[in-house]
Amino acid sequence: MARKAVCCGLSSLELLFMVLFLLMTGITVGLITVLAINLNSHTQEPEEPTPSVKPPENPYLIGVGRADCTGPVGDVPLMGYANLEQIAGGIHTRLFSRAFIVDDSSRRVVFVSAEIGMVSQRLRLEVLKELELKYGDLYRQDNVVLSGTHTHSGLAGYFQYTLFMITSKGYIKPSIQAIVNGIVKSIDLAHRNMRPGRIFMNKGELLDNTRNRSPHSYMNNPEEERKRYKYDTDKQVVTLKFTDLDGDGMGMLSSFAVHSVSMHETNQMVSSDNLGYAAYLFEQDKNTGSLSGKGPFVAAMASANSGDVSPNTRGPYCINTGERCDYLNSSCPIGGNEMCLAFGPGKDMFESTRIIGENIYRKTKELYSSAEQELHGSVYAAHQWVNMTDVTVQLNSTHSAKTCKPALGHSFAAGTTDGGGALNFTQASVEGDPFWDGIRDALVGVPSQETQDCHVPKPILFNTGEMNWPFPWHPAIVDVQIITIGSLAIVAVPGEVTTMSGRRIREAVKQELETQNAFTNTEVVVAGLCNVYTHYITTYEEYQVQRYEAASTIYGPHTLSAYIQHFRGLARAIAQGNVGELPKGPEPPFFSKLFSLLPDPPVDRKPENTTFGQVLQQVDPLYKVGGVASVTFVAGNPRNSGDMRDKTFITVEKFHNTTSTWDIVHTDASWETRFHWMKGSGGQSNATVDWHIPLSAQPGTYRIRHFGHFKQRNIITSVITSYEGTSEVFRVTKSLYSI
């Protein structure tokens, strides 16, 4: 099937139609890390005998927490590919927010990794409001970092800028509420279980699981710079091990640069993708006997400088002819750009997700087990809001340059080899197209000369910085932030940085910290998709090529330099101990009356003579391990079940012979189960539960159950009623012949 949308952006035709739709139908608004290793203590004023220096034997206070942040798994678009046909229909794996709090007894920092496409400004503002209500000024914009794993199978609907709202069907309250509540709950849990502990760090390389998806752009970076690195993506895995004072593990936080897009845009089930599966395996391993990893041990896999890093390791091919795609522009001789897609390493997306996830898990487990380098010293946080449309970048002693009002280039609509775009857009295009430019001009107006000049050589497709109806289309105010834990610093980047951009940021921050003698042996890692989404950040040289990532570098050619300038400022403030003197910067807006284009779920209907929860398609009486048990129920719309965080739509249960009870062995959070909700016509729907029976499954007697709610209308109001359905009992054996 031909793909019609783009990875991490918004597709072209759909977008144009949505614009048309919005404009024509007159929808009313009312409806509407850097990781730094410092073997010495971190001192604020190195000259003085510093009372603020913590002796290494002082433990940190550490808290870890995990909470479900899965929103409504029906009707809501999935966030990432911006494919309007990729609408949620069930659960592959649940989405979790994982929080880590570290306190040095005078200050504390919080790092949250949430299994969502990216953190949006709106989401962050709502989380910070909740935290303020609960904790006063304990958890603030400067000491809380929120990072997304970049799964493209999380739910949309949590944005306040128009461009993102269009493919989200607007602002969807139940969707953002689930993420806000999940993030805040993960922080609550971490807050409540804080206790003295230690942090160890380890590093290693994981090869063969990633490849650069824009090598042509990468190769445009200076040769001397490229020669310093062995690979065109960062292979390093950085792992933090959190233990209590007895040495018992509390948590693990790792960073690895990979796009969480092993699940393709043909998937409709909510999924935490490759990084999520790695975290899940780690938690299952540590929380022995737990259901789908739930337990006191929290393991998170955070995103890094993964902007140009694909997990689809077989690389791009023309899916129609099997040829190699064009190296420069990723287009195919027949069918153009849409036909060029990357897959692998597995035979399908589930297997690819499993393989990449398992490999990341194995590597982090190895690093965790052998982590010995302990972090010591104070905790710092530095944060600013920056008007990114208005940064003057000092290039050298004589020249300066400016960032631009946001705009997306033509190649943005071409998408990537992880999710092809539509129509005849091509990556690496530095010239506009009179046809599309004409449509753009007619719909949204001609970009100003100033904006066009500022973005050169990017041909502008959407001049989002000049589009303000009904709300601004892109943010101007963004967060820049660095937190440090002793020698360790995490740089929170508000977007997707490419490999080389990430390296430059790390190097700049390392240099800035070390010139002040406050840090030595500084090791640096970047956390991506933090705090507010601003698409991509390429190097100036990559920008000149105008592949997808460059066309999506919205503040123009000097975007990276502007960020580096600000991150240097934050690092300097930390090193000099004057974080408090940093100007706060302009506060981001909080728009009211955001529109929603998602109607309430309709009344649920069922086929004649059936009941909700009744089995439409029964299980087989007998399965062998390695097989797939499958059952289909008459279902209601999952949105009618309301907030299902920490609950489940399905269970797989095993009969316990001696006690005559049914024990739950899997839920909808389990990797082994797939809950497909299929929406039919006229309010009818059904739910198929597949259980991929693992080879390790115990032989015995099993059943599958489904829980849901259906909506009916009486004269005055609608009524929600719960239902459940149970499959027939079936047996599972190791071999079909030895029952």
Ligand X SMILES: *[C@@H]1O[C@H](CO)[C@@H](O)[C@H](O)[C@H]1NC(C)=O
The catalytic residues are 310
Contact with ligand X (CB under 6 A): which of 701, 726, 733, 734?
Answer: 701
**Is residue 439 a contact point for ligand X (CB under 6 A)?**
no
**Contacts of ligand X in 586-615 (CB under 6 A):** 586, 608-609
Contact with ligand X (CB under 6 A): which of 27, 219, 582, 678?
Answer: 678
Q: How many residues bind ligand X (CB under 6 A)?
A: 31
Question: For residues 441, 214, 541 and 231, what is the CA-based torsion angle, rounded to 10 degrees?
Answer: 160
**Is residue 196 a contact point for ligand X (CB under 6 A)?**
no
Closest distance of CB 422 from ligand X, Å: 11
Contact with ligand X (CB under 6 A): which of 141, 389, 553, 670?
Answer: 389
Q: Which is nearer to ligand X, 43 or 331 (CB)?
A: 331
Closest distance of CB 660 from ligand X, Å: 9
Contact with ligand X (CB under 6 A): which of 23, 29, 207, 395?
Answer: 395
**Is residue 332 a contact point for ligand X (CB under 6 A)?**
no
Stretch that binds ligand X, among 58-66, 206-214, 326-334, 691-699 (CB under 6 A): 326-334
Q: Which is nearer to ligand X, 336 or 419 (CB)?
A: 336
Closest distance of CB 77 from ligand X, Å: 19
**Is residue 399 a contact point for ligand X (CB under 6 A)?**
yes
173-192 vs 121-135: helix axis angle to the nearest 10? 40
* 605 neighbors 632 (Cβ within 8 angstroms): no
* 536 neighbors 552 (Cβ within 8 angstroms): yes
Residue nearest ligand X, Cβ-based? 680
**Is residue 417 a contact point for ligand X (CB under 6 A)?**
no
The string of DSSP codes covering 467-533 is --SSS-SS-SEEEEEEEEETTEEEEE-SSEE-HHHHHHHHHHHHHHHHHTTS-SS---EEE-SBSS-
Residues contacting residue 315 through CB under 8 Å, at least 6 positions apart: 211, 342, 344, 417
Contact with ligand X (CB under 6 A): which of 578, 680, 721, 736?
Answer: 680
Q: How many CA atoms lie within 13 A of 209 on its CB side?
A: 30
Contact with ligand X (CB under 6 A): which of 141, 181, 686, 727?
Answer: 686
**Contacts of ligand X in 108-167 (CB under 6 A):** none
* 280 neighbors 228 (Cβ within 8 angstroms): no
Give the span between the Cα atoms of 460 and 586, in whole angstroms: 27
Contact with ligand X (CB under 6 A): which of 113, 303, 632, 651?
Answer: 632
Q: Which is nearer to ligand X, 208 or 608 (CB)?
A: 608
Closest distance of CB 121 from ligand X, Å: 12
Beta strands 298-302 and 249-255, pairing class: parallel
Contact with ligand X (CB under 6 A): which of 433, 496, 549, 653?
Answer: 433
**Is residue 738 a contact point for ligand X (CB under 6 A)?**
no
Closest distance of CB 514 from ligand X, Å: 24
**Is residue 565 a contact point for ligand X (CB under 6 A)?**
no
* 353 neighbors 263 (Cβ within 8 angstroms): yes
Give the span between the Cα atoms of 676 and 51, in whole angstroms: 59
Instruction: From 560, 573, 574, select the one nearest 526 (Cα to Cα).
Output: 560
559-576 vs 499-515: helix axis angle to the nearest 10? 30
What's the full length of the chain, in residues? 739
Q: Which helix (H) or strand (E) holds 211?
A: strand 211-212
Interface positions with ligand X (CB under 6 A): 326, 328-329, 331, 336, 387, 389-390, 395-399, 424, 426, 433, 435, 476-477, 586, 608-609, 616-617, 632, 655, 657, 678, 680, 686, 701
